Amino acid sequence: MKPAAFEYECPQQLDAALALLNDANSRILAGGQSLVPMMNFRLATPSRLVDINKLPDLDYVRDAGDAVEIGALARHAQVYASNEVAQHFPIMKAAYEWIAHSAVRNRGTLCGNLCHADPASEMPAIMQVLEAQLTLSSASGARVVVATDFFKGSYETAIAADEMLTMLSISKPAPGTGWGFEEVAMRKGDYAWCTVAATLQLSSGKIASARVAVSGVDACATRLSDAESSLDGQAPDTELFANVAASAALAVDPADNVAVSADYRRDLVRTLMPRVLQAAVESAG
Amino acid sequence: MDKVAINLTVNGRNRQALVPPRMLLSDFIRHELELPGTHVGCEHGVCGSCNVLVDGKAVRSCLMFAVQTDGARIGTIEGMGADGSLHPIQEAFWEEHGLQCGFCTPGMLVAATELLAEKPDPSEEEIREAISGNLCRCTGYEFIIKAIRSAAQKLREGNGAAQTESA
Ligand SMILES: Cc1cc2nc3c(=O)[nH]c(=O)nc-3n(C[C@H](O)[C@H](O)[C@H](O)COP(=O)(O)OP(=O)(O)OC[C@H]3O[C@@H](n4cnc5c(N)ncnc54)[C@H](O)[C@@H]3O)c2cc1C
Ligand code: FES
Ligand code: FES
């Protein structure tokens, strides 16, 4: 199918783009790798597109001291290949091996990916584990929302219609932070059936600051606070991990779909989580 | 909605057009520029048969609007090879049976072009990764992988040499 007709705006300055968003009919076009398929199927019929691809100075991945900052126009491919990410966030690199394909990553942006908030998307889980800060800008100013408050439901986020996600700021993890990431999907590059991501620290042989998130198994990517509190203060142990995973598998609320049943998704949580935690322990130190 | 004027370079040639914003780049290339070598399989980014090069990067032409390519440099399958002779990558696909029906081939060639520009001597793993976003219903992929490996070697040995060899 073909997209419905729309008005096209291609502002050259951020202020002009934000002013255009004041109109309720406007929708941002970033990499188009989620929005255009939806328009081709007429699942989305925006009457006006505000193409942000020509806005200057938003295509950065930069070291900002304690954090790495990623601009609205940083493409997946650029983030994937960046030294800053390789050095400070190996968990993002591991996840990128599972995200789309090179031609899609060449255009798609990380910020657009987060705003789209597909329930089976990887980065919403990773950003919650890393507690990334999202700068939401509008004509009347800017606010910062932490990733754990950003994702509200299936394709639903805290962003308002007149706001644009202009920057992502991710604090560099404390030295010694370990991480783990596992996914099962039909094929690499497809949306996840189940993704589990975690970071933790070890302090005198005990787990500290455990952060665990899943995606693909709930309405949106979520942190599992019960799992985290069961891990904190405990010595790493296979039985502990199995118990935490078993409880998490019961706590999530997956739906059946044509490809995969809810029960199978729970099984994936149960199976992948101990591996992720074990990998996190092994890489901590 | 009002048409928008665009000015771009396609296969080295300057093109100007008036396009409605909703026109997909794939449709613009096929129907307006009459370059039907770019194929359209799924129109939602999954099959890769519509891949073209935009400013040297492989992208899905079904997921861009033509209006977005104002000022861009586009490369399609018709721009590969010169004066009726095959590009070394095309030649390798021919020799290694990297195609059967040919529907996926333009997209595969674009993916291979980008890969070999970045990695002249890719591992098998890298080749598999590079074409992972391109569906082929005929070949089972093995011959495509062989063809890309052979193309890499041809290109490393120099286009000129590769072309005379097969002549
Ligand atoms: C074949 C294929 C496979 C894929 N596989 C995966 C996968 O395995 N995992 C995965 O996570 N994703 C996958 N994707 C989706 C991909 O990651 C998209 O790039 C991403 O979801 C959207 O980013 P975009 O820049 O293309 O946004 P767009 O498509 O341009 O926009 C998406 C939505 O976000 C809004 N938006 C975009 N940017 C902003 C902004 N800065 N501020 C506010 N709103 C904004 C738009 O208005 C729109 O509603 C796949 C896509 C394809 C086509
Ligand atoms: S037609 Fe564009 S990816 Fe299938
Ligand atoms: S050769 Fe027929 S689809 Fe690939």
Residue B64 shares a structural domain with residue B95: no
Question: Per the CB < 8 Å rule, is A6 touching B22?
Answer: yes
Locus of tokens 């909703």: B22
Which residues 104-133 of A have a C-beta within 8 angstroms of B?
104, 106-107
**Is B162 a domain residue?**
no
Residue B44 shares a structural domain with residue B103: no
**Is B167 a domain residue?**
no
For residue A85, the one-letter residue type is: V
**Is B51 a domain residue?**
yes
Residue B37 shares a structural domain with residue B92: no
Domain containing B67 equals 4-79
Residue B75 shares a structural domain with residue B8: yes
**Is B113 a domain residue?**
yes
Residue B75 shares a structural domain with residue B15: yes
Q: Is B133 on the interface with A (CB under 8 A)?
A: yes
Residue B8 shares a structural domain with residue B72: yes
Q: How far is A188 from chain B (nearest CA, A)?
A: 8
ipTM here: 0.93
Q: Quick check: A163 and A268 in contact, CB under 8 A?
A: no
Q: How far is A239 from chain B (nearest CA, A)?
A: 36
List, in order, residues 6 or more apart from A196 with CB less than 8 Å away.
A180, A181, A182, A183, A212, A213, A214, A269, A272, A273, A276
Q: Which of B60, B79, B98 is the last residue of a domain?
A: B79
Q: Which of B23, B46, B79 is the last residue of a domain?
A: B79
CA atoms within 13 A on the CB side of B69: 34
* Cα B16 to Cα B134: distance, rounded to the nearest angstrom: 30
Above 60 in pLDDT, residue B165?
no
Q: Is B71 on the interface with A (CB under 8 A)?
A: no
The CATH number covering residue B62 comes to: 3.10.20.30
Residue B75 shares a structural domain with residue B120: no
**Is B166 a domain residue?**
no
Residue B57 shares a structural domain with residue B11: yes
**Is B46 a domain residue?**
yes
Per-residue pLDDT of chain A (285 residues; tens, 9 = 90+): 799 999 999 999 999 999 999 888 899 999 999 999 999 999 999 999 999 999 999 999 999 999 999 999 999 999 999 999 999 999 999 999 999 999 999 999 999 999 999 999 999 999 999 999 999 999 999 999 999 999 999 999 999 999 999 999 999 999 999 999 999 998 888 889 999 999 999 999 999 999 999 999 999 999 999 999 999 999 999 999 999 999 999 999 998 888 899 999 999 999 999 999 999 999 997
Q: Is B41 on the interface with A (CB under 8 A)?
A: no
Residue B55 shares a structural domain with residue B36: yes
Number of domains in chain B: 2
Residue B48 shares a structural domain with residue B100: no
**Is B145 a domain residue?**
yes
**What per-residue confidence (pLDDT) applies to B164?**
40
* Cα A80 to Cα A87: distance, rounded to the nearest angstrom: 11
Which residues 46-65 of A have a C-beta within 8 angstroms of B?
49, 51, 53
Above 90 in pLDDT, residue B26?
yes
Question: Per the CB < 8 Å rule, is A103 touching B27?
Answer: no
Residue B63 shares a structural domain with residue B117: no
User: What's the average model confidence in pLDDT over B110-118?
Assistant: 97
The CATH number covering residue B93 comes to: 1.10.150.120
Q: Give the global pTM.
A: 0.96
**What per-residue confidence (pLDDT) applies to A257?**
84
pLDDT band of residue B166 (cuts 50, 70, 90) is: very low
Mean pLDDT taken over chain A: 96
Q: Which of B31, B55, B79 is the last residue of a domain?
A: B79
SS (H, E, C) chain B: CCCEEEEEEECCEEEEEEECCCCEHHHHHHHHCCCCCCCCCCCCCCCCCCEEEECCEEEEHHHCEHHHHCCCEEECHHHCCECCECCHHHHHHHHCCCCCCCCCHHHHHHHHHHHHHHCCCCCHHHHHHHCCCCCCCCCCCHHHHHHHHHHHHHHHHCHHHHHHHHC
Above 90 in pLDDT, residue B160?
no
**Is B130 a domain residue?**
yes
**Ligand 2 atom showing the smallest separation from residue B43 Cα:** 1
Residue B123 shares a structural domain with residue B71: no
Question: Per the CB < 8 Å rule, is B111 touching A2?
Answer: no
* Cα A80 to Cα A77: distance, rounded to the nearest angstrom: 5
